[in-house]
Amino acid sequence: MINNSSILVTGADGFIGSHLTEALVREGYKVRAFVLYNSFNSWGWLDHCAADVKGQFEVFAGDIRDPHGVKEAMNGCDAVLHLAALIAIPYSYHSPDTYVDTNVKGTLNVLQAARELGVKRVVHTSTSEVYGTARFVPITEEHPVQGQSPYSATKIAADQLAYSFYASFGLPVVIARPFNTYGPRQSARAVVPTIITQIANGRRQIKLGAVTPTRDFNFVLDTVSGFIAALNSEQGLGQVVNFGSNFEISIGDTVQLIAEAMNVEVEILADETRFRPENSEVERLCADNAKAKQLFAWQPKYGGREGFKHGLTETAEWFLQPDNLRVYKSDVYNL
């Protein structure tokens, strides 16, 4: 893609989407940020974007579930980075219907509009959760998928829809599959902010669910560079591509690493409300990112244990800023 291309970013008001919007603006793209319409006129995290980016992108307020608004937002854009989704696993147990509407139908709206408008590239966001508990590690793109939660089931459906539009209509789609992204601005329903915000608010007994599952954590700037690499490459059409750090660590060990980074000692308390149903828990995730390296010359800058600790330190520093910390309700369990 050329630098003066117009890019639509859906979910631009969210955690990864806001960082991606900033990065695209800095690289010279014309960015249209699709944010969820609301009566507060809030643009989510884009209300707090970096000073050098402020005012340098267009905002379109709409709803990914509405096909007409999606097509209007996409009109005139050369490419689409589709991140809009409901992602909280516990909330998907509570309200699965909204996940079908947002993640499946919303993706269909994006694909259909892109096809009708002749968009040159669609990067669709998947998730490592579609793999379920690893049957082998590291997890390659050939690993079977398994919907162990309503969330992951809807993401599998959305991924298959994206592939079907490539296979059926030749739509130039890449399916980007990031592993567990963390970093500044992440929702407190995710494990890293859950730990950091409790520590930042003075707690030394940290409430958590299961601590034995392992994850492959990807710093948000690495995930963002993966999206941009997929956008700029002619490779990968019709393919799934993992973006992960190739470093596996348990939730319990992650707590200790965060405590080290924040210079405190902590104790973990089991909170029954935070445990997933037994068969729904993904016990192990560990990425094989060889395909991303091969196709897109992408590799994580925050890889390995030291890279992870560096990313956690940057994340903790952001959360420790009072203006950022007060946005989070650390004393409430976020679904």
Closest CA to 81 of 25, 38, 130, 157: 25
pLDDT band at 55 (very low <50, low <70, confident <90, very high): very high
Sketch the domain layout of the chain as residue ranges.
6-181+218-246+285-302, 191-213+248-283+307-325
Rounded Cα–Cα distance for residues 129 and 177 (Å): 9
Of 158, 164, 191, 192, nearest in space to 177 by CA: 158
State which amino acid sits at residue 57: F
Query: How do residues 251-287 score in pLDDT, each as one tens digit?
Result: 999 999 999 999 999 999 888 888 888 888 999 999 9
142: nearest Cα among 133, 152, 153, 131: 131
Q: What percent of the chain has pLDDT over 90?
A: 89
- 309: enclosing H helix or E strand: helix 304-319
Topology (CATH level 3) of domain 6-181+218-246+285-302? Rossmann fold (3.40.50)
pLDDT computed for residue 234 by the predictor:
94
Q: What is the DSSP letter of 325?
A: H
| pLDDT tens by residue, 214-232 | 999 999 999 999 999 999 9
Is residue 3 very low, low, confident or very high in pLDDT (cuts 50, 70, 90)?
Answer: low
| Average pLDDT value for residue range 195-203 | 93
DSSP structure class, residue 222: H
**Average pLDDT score over the chain:** 95
Task: Summarize pLDDT for 83-111 with one digit per residue, the tens.
Answer: 999 999 999 999 999 999 999 999 999 99
Q: Is the pLDDT confidence value at 335 over 90?
A: no
Supply 334's token pair: 């976020």
Mean pLDDT of the 226-245 span: 97
* % pLDDT > 70, the chain: 97
pLDDT at position 24: 98
pLDDT tens figures, 73-83: 999 999 999 99
Q: Is the pLDDT of residue 319 over 70?
A: yes
Contacts of 323 by beta carbon, 8 Å cutoff, 6+ apart: none
The CA distance from 112 to 173, in Å, is 12
Question: pTM of the prediction?
Answer: 0.96
Q: How confident is the model at residue 250 (pLDDT cuts 50, 70, 90)?
A: very high
| 191-213+248-283+307-325: CATH, from 1.10.3470.10, 3.40.50.150, 1.10.1040.50, 3.90.25.10 | 3.90.25.10
